[in-house]
Amino acid sequence: MSSKGAGHKADLRQALRVGVIGAGVMGSNHARVLAGLPDVHLVGVVDPLPAHRSRVTELANCPTFETLDQLAAEGVDAVTVAAPTHLHHELALACIARKVHLMVEKPIASTVEEGKEIVTAAHRAGVTLMIGHVERFNPAVAAIKKAIAGEDLLSIAITRVGPFPPRMSNVGVVIDLAVHDIDLIRWFTESDIVEVQPQLSSAVAEREDIALLQFRTASGVLAHINTNWLTPFKARNVTVATRGKYIMGDLLTRQVTECFGFKPDGSYSMRHLPVGHDEPLRAELIAFLHAVRSGTSPAVTGDEGVASLAIATQCLETSSHRPAEAAATKRRAAG
């Protein structure tokens, strides 16, 4: 951490006591990163499952607890909530009641109503609430955001595909994957999404495993998301068209290319943009802890988390896709 400004904000250097709730894949990574950050004391990780607690002990070499009460008894300034989504509401409100700052993994909650309750409670208690939309901290995404600053945006296309996840989930691709890109569209355009045209299908899973989502923002930008669990390999690509540029980003290889200088004869120039090497989760947690220490607004606010969840929910509610009818059709075809 820089010593700049340490003279009048010496308290910012004091170690923050931080805990993690949830020791699944994401929570274990939270613990690993937090254990290595300066000016942070990782108090411990909460998880009811002994196997999860054993894994996180090996990964982060920190104490583990079976309940939130046990962690709270040790004293914490802030926590990250990486438990299953259906527990976010209950856990977040319990932390807020204890005046503990918190970062909640995306999506903020199972429903928009629960998300709004979390935001309201945090505001009333005066605690920092950040939502874990980690893709914003991908260095390739940051490079795209920088490249389009001040540009007249026309369209955005995002592809986020891959194989069916080994961890069985109670949500489909819209909540699990597309919510990342709904957030990016809102962040890139700095505008609300006002029109939603979703096409969903359940090819092999009970919930939707294919989604083609089209949007229009209040600023007039057209955007679409292609996401599925049917592709045998992972792909994460973003393209943005503006009046003066065309930008292509691969979020996995972290290569960002800019086309510019379009001429009447169809020629143009290309260049690779500089992209940082930060681990997105590390950058995200540092941003959260900075907001806690400084009392400034977090990088992804609760309201932004609710807005993205609301659009994802709207995609599910307004789609013509009906899993039961689709299954019946499959059976009739098979017969």
Using only the alpha carbons of the chain, give its radius of gyration.
Answer: 21
DSSP strands (E only) in 22-138:
40-46, 64-65, 78-81, 101-105, 129-132
DSSP strands (E only) in 134-207:
153-163, 193-201
Q: What would the two tokens of residue 59 be?
A: 């990964």
| Cα 16 to Cα 159: distance, rounded to the nearest angstrom | 38
**Residue 242 one-letter amino acid:** T
Per-residue confidence of the chain (335 residues) as pLDDT tens digits?
A: 333 333 333 345 579 999 999 999 999 999 999 999 999 999 999 999 999 999 999 889 999 999 999 999 999 999 999 999 999 999 999 999 999 999 999 999 999 999 999 999 999 999 999 999 999 999 999 999 999 999 999 999 999 999 998 776 678 999 999 999 999 999 999 999 999 999 999 998 889 999 999 999 999 999 999 999 999 999 999 999 999 999 999 999 999 999 999 999 999 999 999 999 999 999 999 999 999 999 999 999 999 999 999 999 999 998 755 554 444 444 444 44
| Cα 316 to Cα 209: distance, rounded to the nearest angstrom | 12
| Cα 306 to Cα 269: distance, rounded to the nearest angstrom | 40
Phi, then psi, of 19 in degrees rounded to 5: -125, 165
**Residues 6 or more apart in contact with residue 208 via CB below 8 angstroms:** 172, 173, 174, 200, 201, 202, 316, 319, 321, 323
